[in-house]
Amino acid sequence: MNKIVVLTGAGISAQSGLGTFRDAGGLWAEDAIEDVATPEGFTRDPALVHRFYNARRAQAAQAQPNAAHAALAQLEAEYPGDVLIVTQNVDNLHERAGSRNVIHMHGELAKALCHACGHRWGAPLVMHPTDACPVCQAPAVRPDVVWFGEVPYGMDMIDPALSNADVFVSIGTSGQVYPAAAYAQHSRRLGAHTIELNLEPSANSRDFAEAHYGPATDVVPNWVARMLDCT
Ligand code: APR
């Protein structure tokens, strides 16, 4: 039985209207990473960080899954093997397209975390630094998103999945942030067939045995159709 691991990045949600990070005019052109995506930035100005994620949460709530998200959900439903999505994205478009087997290694906009007691709950659309944790009441709420310098989620599940993968597919990521940027090389070394589906060659395009370039809403449904044809 074939095991497929799919890594997704901001590029898969670009055609749903959600900004990517490093393309021209991307999120990191608007706000500095150190101000809005590090624990130090949050300590320095929690209101700025909450405003940044409140805006992204509102955009994500308005966005709709696109044909690439839908194709991956169809693959999970119809492929006679395991399909795991490891996403760097914090939106929930994979789930809203119908995918069930999803690991959010950088957290989720839809979740809040109390950095005093560790409690997690469904994030309200708008969060403020003065919001109290529903469990310990401390004014210590933050987005449940993994910032630079923090440990990504799900590594204990991701690493074994990469080791056992027959196919590793990377979609819509620039291959510049670790550990995700090393996944193709890691899985290839352990025998997986590696495929890059992206608008253009990523920083680690040489790690892939196969590549198809173009908008995700073209290249992902085409790839899924080929995978389902040969089952
Ligand atoms: N279809 C397919 N690929 C696209 C599309 C599209 N319509 N639009 C853009 N892309 C590609 C770009 O070519 C680029 O390679 O998506 C990639 C987006 O790269 P980044 O903006 O760097 O986003 P990502 O790789 O997901 O960033 C990884 O960095 O800042 C952190 O935590 C953040 O999860 C994020 C991580």
* Ligand 1 pocket test target in 6, 15, 20, 103 with most atoms within 8 Å of CB: 20
Q: What percent of the chain has pLDDT over 70?
A: 100
What pLDDT, in 10s, does the model give residues 71-95? 999 999 999 999 999 999 999 999 9
Domain 20-62+108-145 is classified in which CATH homologous superfamily? SIR2/SIRT2 'Small Domain' (3.30.1600.10)
Q: How far is CA 151 from CA 76, 154, 173, 214, in A?
A: 27, 9, 19, 32
CB 178 within 8 A of CB 193: no
Mean pLDDT value across residues 201-216: 97
- 1-18+65-106+152-231 matches 20-62+108-145 in fold: no
CB 19 within 8 A of CB 10: yes
By DSSP bridging, strand 210-213 and strand 120-122 are: unpaired
Q: Measured between alpha carbons, how far is 216 from 172 in angstroms, rounded to an integer?
A: 7
What pLDDT, in 10s, does the model give residues 163-181? 999 999 999 999 999 999 9
* pLDDT score, position 230: 82
> Which one is the CATH code of 1-18+65-106+152-231: 3.40.50.1220, 3.30.2130.10, 3.40.50.800, 3.20.20.70?
3.40.50.1220
What pLDDT, in 10s, does the model give residues 184-194? 999 999 999 99
* pLDDT score, position 231: 75
Residue 216, ligand 1, Cβ within 6 A: yes
What pLDDT, in 10s, does the model give residues 128-139? 999 999 999 999
Q: Edge-to-edge strand order for the sheet containing 141-145?
A: 120-122, 107-114, 141-145
Is the model's pLDDT at 1 over the cut of 80?
A: no
Q: Measured between alpha carbons, how far is 83 from 137 in angstroms, rounded to an integer?
A: 40
Structural domain spans, the chain: 1-18+65-106+152-231, 20-62+108-145
* Ligand 1 pocket test target in 15, 16, 23 with most atoms within 8 Å of CB: 23
Beta bridge partners of 82: 3
Determine the distance separating the centroid of ligand 1 and the alpha carbon of 127, expressed in angstroms. 26
